Amino acid sequence: MIHERARLFSTRPYLTLGTRVKEVLPGGYKIADILLFDPAEEELVTVPDKTIPKELMDEEMVGASHGWGVFCARHDRSVRISDLYNPLASKSNPTMITLPRLTALSSNYCNVAMTSSPHLEDCVVAIKFVGDHLSLCRPGRDLEWTNILTPPSCLENSNLMYSKRDKKFYLPAPGGKYLFSYNLHFKEEDIPEVQEVVYRGHPELDQSEWELLSSCTRTEHLVEYTHGFYSTVLERIDHITQRFMVFREEETTEGSIMCYTEDIGDMCIFLANSEAFCVPASSCTGLKPNSIYHMGRGLGFYDLTTGNPHQYLAPDGAPSVLTQPYWLPPFST
């Protein structure tokens, strides 16, 4: 049974829903159930009786990457990385990696990206703030964060991602027409590289549909897969998903261009405030291929084949308010 449970956790993505405190221990520790949402089975998954260290009690989870949560204390801006939400990690002694206190002026977090597991020597953690700040740190090596001013009034709410292929952090500009990149040794005085993005092809829509989309709020996400990038555009009205548009990176004689597609094959894309990632549907029974699983003001998935959005109902036992909703990729055993 234990091996079967480990196998399921190692092949499934999950959404973090928070914790349910069961007992307060002397010294400030708590025993709590970890609450996860399984999109394949559309049900709540509970990891029972996990110890929450006192250091994480008053800290806010501000992002997730590679299955690790990034936590920050509002009162002193201390930062910790933890495997608290990893169902395969120790229940009684979750790993915590302490980073230097943040010194960027902004205190509103946008999202987080990491180059690898924080256990690896070459790991770099990046935190994007709402506004014009990006901060980089190497766990266990840097004594302070490298604070970078991004171009003003350009990348305030951009979604950060890391490319293993290019070994760079990317921020798409509004409209997705430009990509700003930051290498792993970027200094405060350096200037980011800027790449113009060329798009080809768009969906065939009638005038009324284009007029509807023109009234939508729009966000861009960049996600890396085996052969390149997907650029995903989310269109919303009053926080209700209307349409996703996906553009696949293709190499041509003119260089790299982004081509509109409604077919990403067996892939599923997972989008939230955490770093976006892809999972093959065939690796997890119950996932819908050629779909985008998203978490924002609502939780659901979008079928690229039909163009239909699907909204999940809140599973029994889930919190009424989600304060830490981040997708986590399948865990390693």
- Spatial separation of the C-alpha atoms in residues 139 and 141, rounded to whole Å: 5
- Spatial separation of the C-alpha atoms in residues 241 and 208, rounded to whole Å: 17
- Residue 28: which of 54, 49, 58, 52 has the closest Cα? 54
Tens of pLDDT, residue by residue over 160-175, are 999 999 999 999 998 8
CA angle, 164 then 65 then 55, to 5°: 140
- Spatial separation of the C-alpha atoms in residues 32 and 23, rounded to whole Å: 7
Sequence-ordered list of residues with C-beta below 8 angstroms from that of 165, at least 6 positions apart, any chain: 224, 228
Q: Examine the pLDDT at 6 and tell me if it is beyond 50.
A: no
Residue 240 has a pLDDT of 65
DSSP 313: P
Please report, rounded to a whole number, the percentage of residues in the chain having pLDDT higher than 90: 53
DSSP 175: T
Residue 227 has a pLDDT of 74
Sequence-ordered list of residues with C-beta below 8 angstroms from that of 18, at least 6 positions apart, any chain: 35, 319, 322, 323, 324
Q: Examine the pLDDT at 237 and tell me if it is beyond 80.
A: no
β-strand 146-149 against 161-163: which pairing, if any?
A: unpaired
Confidence label for 317 from pLDDT (cuts 50, 70 and 90):
confident
Over 178-205, what HEC string results?
EEEEEECCCCCCCCCEEEECCEECCCCC
Task: For residue 207, report the phi and psi dihedrals to the nearest 5 degrees.
Answer: -60, -40
Residue 4 has a pLDDT of 44
β-strand 267-271 against 240-252: which pairing, if any?
A: unpaired
Adjacency order of strands within the sheet including 299-303? 277-280, 267-271, 291-295, 299-303, 308-311
Q: Examine the pLDDT at 32 and tell me if it is beyond 80.
A: yes
Residue 321 has a pLDDT of 75
Q: How many CB atoms lie within 10 A of CB 308?
A: 9
Residue 9 has a pLDDT of 60
Residue 79 has a pLDDT of 94
pTM of the model: 0.90
Confidence label for 2 from pLDDT (cuts 50, 70 and 90):
very low
Q: Examine the pLDDT at 3 and tell me if it is beyond 50.
A: no
Residue 273 has a pLDDT of 83
Residue 164 has a pLDDT of 95
Q: Are 168 and 184 in contact (CB under 8 A)?
A: yes
Residue 289 has a pLDDT of 97
Confidence label for 332 from pLDDT (cuts 50, 70 and 90):
low
Q: Of 15-19, 149-153, 158-162, 321-325, where does mean pLDDT reach its minimum?
A: 321-325
Q: Examine the pLDDT at 203 and tell me if it is beyond 90.
A: no
Q: Which residues pair with 252 in a beta bridge?
A: 255
- Spatial separation of the C-alpha atoms in residues 85 and 295, rounded to whole Å: 17
- Which residue shows structure tokens 């990176």? 249
**Tokens coding 81:** 């990385």
- Residue 171: which of 205, 194, 148, 137 has the closest Cα? 194
